[in-house]
Structure 1
Amino acid sequence: MEYINYIVILIFLSFILMRFLPTKGVRNISAADLKNELKDRSNKQFVDVRTPGEFKGNHIRGFKNIPLHQLSNKANELTKEQEIIVICQSGMRSQKASKILKKMGFSKVTNVKGGMNAWS
């Protein structure tokens, strides 16, 4: 019985770690690094995965608003051959969006750590 408890705890810890570890193949940049990325916009797509209300309140010029809950359905609006830079409010939704895009076959995905909170 004691072994079962250890196995359950191990599975739970593994699940927690997998949720918060960076996704393999996703580049993570800071808000300061994003400023450099914005200087050269060629071959890049900029996606803001916040809600339309959040986006309307404050956004970075050049970012396209595709809310996280719509990303799977609207991913066909993005080009798989170009790098995609993803931002949200704090970095959590953009990290999740980056995982979704990688699973959908996008090869160059970049997440902005800290999101709009770090940008301000």
Structure 2
Amino acid sequence: MDIMTIVQIGVGLIFLYLVYDAFKPVKNFQQLTEDEVKNKIKASKNVVLVDVRNPYEFKTNHLKGAINLPLPKIRGKKVEIPTDKEVILYCQTGIRSKQAAKILRKRNKEMPLAHLKGGLYSWKGATSTTNRKK
């Protein structure tokens, strides 16, 4: 086996690990359906909805009562996440909210975390659109 083959195998293994790490499940993390999110919000006042999309996306459409903490700011530790409440993350498809959950889980292993499975695409109506000036 020549050195190039060994390097290619090494690069391939690193790539496979990075793909696995990006998609592996988050520990102690709930994936909730729309109905489960609605029930949690109705049942408890200790729930906070966090929209991890960019501000322009949030302004266009968001769930009623949600706060906007964009994923890049979460990555950069530029926001404070409430640790005394159950945090339910969401985005457009569920990918960014899962990334945010991984970041938050590394910082606080005990924080109650969940996300809206499928993001806003899975939410059937009941979204709040802000009034834009025309």
Whether the TM-score (by the shorter chain) exceeds 0.5 is yes
Q: Matched residues in 2 for 1:38 and 1:107: separation?
A: 17
- Are 1:41 and 2:44 matched, yes or no? yes
TM-score, normalised relative to structure 2: 0.78
- Structure 2 unaligned regions, length at least 5: 125-134
Tell me which residue corresponds to 1:96. Answer: 99
Q: Shift in Å at residue 70 of structure 1?
A: 1.7
Q: Percent identity?
A: 36
The alignment covers a number of residue pairs equal to 118
CA contact (8 A) 1:28 1:111 kept: yes
Q: Shift in Å at residue 93 of structure 1?
A: 0.8
Q: Shift in Å at residue 86 of structure 1?
A: 0.3
TM-score, normalised relative to structure 1: 0.86
RMSD between superposed Cα atoms in Å: 1.7
Tell me which residue corresponds to 2:18. Answer: 15
Equivalent residue for 1:111, pick from 115, 120, 128: 115
Larger Rg belongs to: 2
Q: Matched residues in 1 for 2:44 and 2:59: separation?
A: 22
- Structure 1 unaligned regions, length at least 5: none
Q: Shift in Å at residue 31 of structure 1?
A: 2.4
